[in-house]
Amino acid sequence: MAEKIGIAIHGGAGTILRSKMTSEKERLYSKALQESLTAGWDCLSSNKSSLDAVERAVEILENNSLFNAGKGSVFTNEGTHKMDASVMDGKTLKAGCVSSVSNVKNPVFLARKIMDNSPFVLLSGKGAKEFAEKMNLQFEDDKYFFDEYRYEQYLNAIRGDSVELDHSENTDGKKFGTVGAVALDCNGNLAAATSTGGMTNVKFGRIGDSPIIGAGTYANNKTCAVSCTGDGEYFIRSVAAYDVSALMEYKSLSLADACEMVVHKKLKNIGGEGGMIAIDKDCNIAMTFNSEGMYRASRKTNSDIEIKIFDDN
C-alpha cells in the first residue's frame, strides 16, 4: 500500500490573458478546477483506482463549457465538434484512445471503454462512435455542444480563414484548452487521462497530441504519469509525455527536472508552447508550463490544495 495518494488536473495552458481575466471569470475557473480535483480526490480517498480518479476528474471538466473538451468543445471548419481523449494505466501500460468522435457526451469514458473492452488502443471517427454505441455510452445532440462564445470564435476564424487554439490570440490570448488529470492511488498505481475538443476551424481531419500515447498522455508505474496541453504538433514531434518518463528512467532525473527539461528546453527550442502536469511513484507533483499560465490544481496526502491559473498565483 502506498503511503501517499495524489492527483493533479489541468484545464489547458496559455489561459485567458491576465488583462482580460475578470474576478468573476477567475472565480468560475477556480470553482470548476476545485470541483474536478475534489471528485478525483474522493475516488482516491475511498480506495478507488488511479484510473477511476483521472476518469472522474476529466469527466467533470468535460461537462463544463469553460473548457475545450466535451460540452465546451470548439467548432471545426465544417461547423461540427470532433473530440479526442486518452487514458493510460501505469500498472499494465494498457491504454485507450479516441479521436475525431462526435456526440459522445464524455469522450474520456469512451477511451476507458476502448482500453477495457477491446483489443485496440486507438479508434477514430465513425468506428469510434459505433463502438461507443455498442458500449451504451451516453450521447448528446449538437445543441448540447453549442456554446455562443465558441460559435463566435468559429465565425471569426472563418472570416479570417485562420485556425484558432481555443481562445483567439487577437482577443483573449492563445489558450490550449485541453483538459487532463494524473493520479497515484493507495496501491501505488499511476494513471493519466487527457481530453480535448481540438482547434477552432480545424481542417483536413487534423489530430493533435491528446489521443496519442507518449505525446499527450503517458503513465508508467516505474516513473510517472503525464498529461499535456499545448500546441499539439510540437508535443507529437517531441514525444513529450514519454520523454519525461524516459528522462527519469534512463537518466535518473527527478520528476521536476524532467518536466523542466522537456517544457522549457526541448519544446521551447523547436517553438512549442504549452505545459504538462505529472505525478511520480513517490507522489511528487509537477505542473510545468512555458506559456503565460495554465489552469491547474493538485492535492496530495498531508499537503494543501493548490489551485492556480497564472505563474505567480
DSSP at 69: S
| Percentages (nearest 5) of helix, strand, coil residues in the chain | 35, 25, 35
132 exposed, middle or buried (CB, 10 Å; 0-12, 13-18, 19+)?
Answer: buried
User: From CA 99, how far away is CA 117, in angstroms rounded?
Assistant: 17
Burial readout 300-310 (b: 16 or more C-beta within 10 A, e: otherwise): beeeeeebbbe
| Active-site pick, 178, 196, 200, 229 | 178
178 is catalytic: yes
Phi and psi based region of residue 130 (left: phi greater than 0; alpha: psi -120 to 50; beta: remaining): alpha
How many Å apart are CA 33 and CA 223, to the nearest integer? Answer: 26
The residues assigned a catalytic role are 178
